Amino acid sequence: MELKRLHTFLTLSKIKNFTKTAEYLHYAQSNVTTQIQHLESEFGVKLFERMGKNITLTPEGEELIVYAKQMLHLSDDLKYKFANKNDYGRITIGASESICIYRLPEIIKTYQIEHPNVELYLNVLDTTDFIPLLTNNEIDISFTLDVPIYHSLINTALQIDETICAFSIPEHPLAQKAEVTIDDFLNVPLILTGRSCCYRKMFEKDLLNASITPKIVLETSSLQVIKQTVLSGLGICVLPQLSVQKELDNNELVKLNYVTNYKLASQLIYHKNKWISENLKDFIDTVKAKTSADN
């Protein structure tokens, strides 16, 4: 099996047009057709349904996508494993937004000082994306902030418990209270994250258990927008403390005396069958060293 045929197959599966695929790959159209025919003959299945100029993947074609990506990625891994002494390489990282903003910048800066020729690709992902993308080898490693992930196919290189708190400007009435309970949030304007956010769901569950209907004045997936809105005095937010540490240090926001028991963590995870290159091993070590120093 020639890997270039798998590459052609994956390209065609995205573009879904033989002519445009040939143009994209700088092949003659007959070359693309021949490569696909060789694959279909080799596997004894049809990979595409052809309806005039339109093509769609067959179920067998959909299944091949997963294996083709893995084989090509493994091929890339081998090339990087035996790369020359200049330490060229690539690491694809999937991360939660909070991690991207508040943990990874210093980690990446430190890593690239030691590995200037290693390319780092960063993808901001939702929690539901991590395991499928790791399993399909579309990302090399993930740095999440969510409910801890425990899965038979996943190894955890690092886990840090995270604190979720309620924050307001210092002048807010609840900021003056020695103890804030869930009942104190009745009719209090709230600035919340998107509905899929795990700690928003936990907070809203607490409100529901207390028979409180949340007074939401803004919901957004942008942590920066949430903080700026709270800084404007328009309400209270519930966020990981690491995302508000700068504002706390500058006395722009304060942490309310409200206790949550949300079991959330930052996790550095990878697929159990992932080949750990020297570059990836060094990245893991850098994450551990930087997070240890920061905590």
Q: How far apart are CA 113 and CA 123, in angstroms?
A: 21
What residue ranges do the domains of the chain occupy?
Answer: 3-79, 85-162+265-294, 164-259
Secondary structure class of 255 (helix, strand, coil)? strand
Mean pLDDT computed over 217-245: 95
pLDDT at 84 over 60: no
Q: How confident is the model at residue 205 (pLDDT cuts 50, 70, 90)?
A: very high
Q: How far apart are CA 221 and CA 237, in angstroms?
A: 12
Residue type, 293: A
Q: How confident is the model at residue 237 (pLDDT cuts 50, 70, 90)?
A: very high
pLDDT at 198 over 80: yes
Secondary structure class of 110 (helix, strand, coil)? helix
Question: How deeply is 136 buried, as exposed, middle or buried, from its count of CB atoms within 10 A (0-12, 13-18, 19+)?
Answer: middle
pLDDT at 81 over 70: no
For 36-76, the pLDDT digits (tens) are 999 999 999 999 998 777 799 999 999 999 999 999 988 88
pLDDT at 227 over 90: yes
Res 252: pLDDT: 97
Q: How far apart are CA 182 and CA 236, in angstroms?
A: 13
Res 83: pLDDT: 60
Q: How far apart are CA 89 and CA 138, in angstroms?
A: 15
pTM of this structure: 0.66
CATH fold for the domain made of 85-162+265-294: D-Maltodextrin-Binding Protein; domain 2 (3.40.190)
The set of residues, in sequence order, having a beta carbon less than 8 Å from that of 11 and lying 6+ positions away, is: 21, 24, 25
- Tokens 């780092």, located at residue: 120
The set of residues, in sequence order, having a beta carbon less than 8 Å from that of 44 and lying 6+ positions away, is: none
For 91-111, the pLDDT digits (tens) are 999 999 889 999 999 999 999
**Count of beta carbons in the 10 Å neighbourhood of residue 126:** 15
Q: Which residues of 98-109 are buried (b: 16+ CB within 10 A; e: fewer)?
A: bbbebbbeebbe
For 108-135, the pLDDT digits (tens) are 999 999 999 899 999 988 888 899 999 9
Res 85: pLDDT: 46
The strand order across the sheet containing 236-240 reads 215-219, 189-192, 236-240, 164-168, 254-255
Domains 85-162+265-294 and 164-259 share a fold: yes
Q: How confident is the model at residue 89 (pLDDT cuts 50, 70, 90)?
A: confident
CATH fold for the domain made of 3-79: Arc Repressor Mutant, subunit A (1.10.10)
Res 78: pLDDT: 77
pLDDT at 189 over 50: yes
CATH number for the domain formed by residue range(s) 164-259: 3.40.190.10
Phi, psi of 149 (to 5 degrees): -95, 120
